[in-house]
Amino acid sequence: MAKAQVVKQIKAPADAVWAALSNFSGIKVGGPISSIAYEGEGVGMVRTIGMGGGLVVERLDVHDAVQRKFAYSIINEDCALPFSNYSAAVSIADNGDGTSTVDWTGTFDARGVPEEDAIKVATGIYAGAIKGAQVALEK
């Protein structure tokens, strides 16, 4: 099983970073995302992301606003990304100085590509999402 992790400090309060990252229904069409659909709400909700001619179906497994942690898993075997048995967890810590630390960690089996390539894909997704939140919070 491979592990991908991005830990990044953001110059914003933890509650603001939580609000920016934890909205499981906050993904929009754009960039590599060609479509998005949501079913349900809260823990157990599912989002279906169209990208690269395929789909990524993710389920929200944990959403804890008090601890500022959420977790999700990819539930479709024919995922458009090079992963199987994928799960990820995101935690946001308050550094006490107006900054926060985001820890985004995923575990999975590489599918169709070498493990190091799958890890690069995952860390690129995590870093991109964290950077997107940081940019949004700087506005």
The CATH number given to whatever domain includes residue 76 is 3.30.530.20
What per-residue confidence (pLDDT) applies to 139?
67
Which tokens in the block code for residue 45?
Answer: 């909700």
Percentage with pLDDT > 70 across the chain:
99
pLDDT digits (tens, 9 = 90+) for 93-117: 999 999 999 999 999 999 999 999 9
Instruction: Report pLDDT digits (tens) over 7-40.
Output: 999 999 999 999 999 999 988 898 889 999 999 9
92-98: long-range contacts, CB 8 A cutoff, minimum separation 24: 92/14, 92/17, 92/18, 92/21, 92/22, 92/68, 93/14, 93/68, 94/13, 94/14, 94/15, 94/68, 95/9, 95/14, 98/11, 98/12, 98/13
Q: Examine the pLDDT at 2 and tell me if it is beyond 80.
A: yes
Contacts for 30 with CB less than 8 Å, ≥ 6 apart: none
Query: What pLDDT does 27 receive?
Result: 87
Q: What CA–CA distance (Å, rounded) separates 55 from 35?
A: 9
**Domain range holding 118?**
2-138
Summarize the confidence of residues 33-56 as an average pLDDT. Answer: 94
Number of domains in the chain: 1
For residue 110, the cross-strand partners are 83
Q: Are 128 and 6 in contact (CB under 8 A)?
A: no
HSE of 101, CA atoms in CB hemisphere, 13 A: 9
